[in-house]
A and B are shown apart, each in its own frame.
Chain A
Amino acid sequence: MMAPKRRRLYLVGGGMTSLGLAVCLVIFAFQDNLVFFYSPSELAKQPLAAEQRIRVGGLVQEGSVVSEGDGLTTRFRITDLSESIAVTYTGILPSLFREGQGVIVQGYLQSPESFVADEVLAKHDENYMPPEVAEALKQSGQWKESRD
């Protein structure tokens, strides 16, 4: 006969272990659904249905941002440095939006190569520093982009 204390310890320990295992398995199984956004490469590999509302994330391709005449519509390309996709967005862009910046756009695929976004979110990286330091790093060539 086990002491009640020990029995409770095993009970709690065993319960936690199995619950933890279950949650790990669930997360592992639904990993694809928990991913917040797709990369352009993933879209190129496995095209998704046009009526599905999805998010695409990557960097705004350098030199790709074009403002339309109406002053609200913007066209740009999102790249993950191997594949890229054209995006059209009508609305106000977040202040961090610029070329080379990480963004996540939400909307629908018009065709496998073009995307119509109704929302643009600027992704922020985990670097925090004063502007002078950033400037100095860029000038000395030690600047390293650490975005996904």
Chain B
Amino acid sequence: MINLHRYANPNQFMRLSSPLVPVVGFLTCSLFPIGLYLALFVSPPDYEQRETVRIMYVHVPAAWMALLSYTLMATFSAVALIWRHPLANVMARSVAPIGASFTLICLITGSLWGQPTWGTWWVWDARLTSVLILFFLFVGYLVLYGAFDDMAKGARAAGLIAIVGFIFVPIIKFSVDLLDLRTLHQGASVSKLSSPAIHESMMWPLMIMAAAYLCYLITFLLLGVRTEIMAARLRAGHRMRAEKGVQLGSSE
């Protein structure tokens, strides 16, 4: 097996990620304006939903990225729990607020789309409810992570929540279609290869917005981990100074 510990080394991470952050940051900053321009000005109204179809361009990528964020969070938590990699918990913790934001965006924009289209802000169908549960899993993770005085204990408890909750991700993604749980929410359009369920003129803005969301996720995941590593160094530095201060007698 390859030595994953090499990449889990904080110094190594700082060195490797430092040229990456400006690149993905730049991509995020350029993809969002392009995507928004296409979504708001270029893309046509839908034959049935009219202009409300434009909400799809912020809603669907948010849903995709929420699921991706959760998958990352659960994977990092499992790696932390099993292999005790020093960075895995930090990465899981950094992805959580981003994932929570994506999920909240998904819920809010979905509600704003549902009212004019379905005629309701919210229904308790299997699909919508499972996304709400996903949001609470993110929030629960974050709360639990900070709930213990011992950081390692909090990380482990939160990690367990993340891993157990991962069961919901395939449910959201697949069971709705596989088990024929009839829901108010329509099925996925992009996965249908046969007949293009989304017209080309709407597919492009959607894909570019999804790329922008993905770059946002990567940028702020890296940034968050870098901040955490620096914060750990800060704590270590303070501790060292405090120890030194005790040894030399306070110099200040």
Chain A positions within 8 Å of B, measured between CB atoms, are 5, 8-9, 12, 15-16, 19-20, 23, 27-28, 31, 34-37, 57, 93-97, 104, 119-135, 144, 146, 148
**B199 in the interface, Cβ–Cβ < 8 Å?**
yes
B46 touches A36 (CB 8 A): no
A122 touches B126 (CB 8 A): no
A96–B46 alpha-carbon span in the complex (Å): 12
> How many whole Å from A36's CB to the nearest CB in chain B?
4
Q: Which residues of A contact B248 (CB under 8 A)?
A: none
A19–B171 alpha-carbon span in the complex (Å): 13
Q: Which residues of B contact A96 (CB under 8 A)?
A: 48-49, 117-119
**B201 in the interface, Cβ–Cβ < 8 Å?**
yes
A129–B30 alpha-carbon span in the complex (Å): 26
A-B pairs, 4 with minimum CB distance:
A94-B119, A134-B47, A130-B44, A129-B199
B181 touches A31 (CB 8 A): yes
For A122, give its contact among B56, B117, B201 (CB under 8 Å).
B117
Q: List 18 A-B contacts (CB under 8 A).
A: A8-B81, A15-B164, A35-B181, A36-B125, A36-B183, A37-B184, A95-B117, A104-B184, A119-B119, A120-B119, A124-B48, A127-B189, A128-B56, A128-B202, A129-B47, A129-B199, A130-B46, A131-B47
Q: Which residue of A lies closest to B49 (CB)?
A: A124
Q: Which residues of A contact B187 (CB under 8 A)?
A: 126
A105–B184 alpha-carbon span in the complex (Å): 11
Q: Which residues of B contact A27 (CB under 8 A)?
A: 171, 175, 179, 181
Q: Number of contacting residues on B, CB 8 A? A: 43
B186 touches A94 (CB 8 A): no
B45 touches A130 (CB 8 A): yes
A12 touches B175 (CB 8 A): no
**B227 in the interface, Cβ–Cβ < 8 Å?**
no
A126 touches B199 (CB 8 A): no
**B36 in the interface, Cβ–Cβ < 8 Å?**
no
**B83 in the interface, Cβ–Cβ < 8 Å?**
yes
For B46, give its contact among A15, A37, A123, A129 (CB under 8 Å).
A129
Q: Which residues of B contact A120 (CB under 8 A)?
A: 119
For B202, give its contact among A28, A94, A129 (CB under 8 Å).
A129
**Sample of 20 more A-B contacts, CB < 8 Å, known A12-B82, A96-B49, A144-B195:** A8-B82, A15-B164, A16-B166, A27-B175, A27-B181, A31-B179, A31-B181, A34-B126, A35-B182, A37-B184, A120-B119, A121-B118, A123-B186, A124-B48, A125-B186, A127-B198, A128-B189, A128-B198, A128-B202, A134-B48
A36–B47 alpha-carbon span in the complex (Å): 26
A12–B82 alpha-carbon span in the complex (Å): 8
> How many whole Å from A69's CB to the nearest CB in chain B?
23
Q: Which residues of A contact B202 (CB under 8 A)?
A: 128-130
CB proximity to A under 8 Å, residues B167-191: 167, 171, 175, 179, 181-184, 186-189
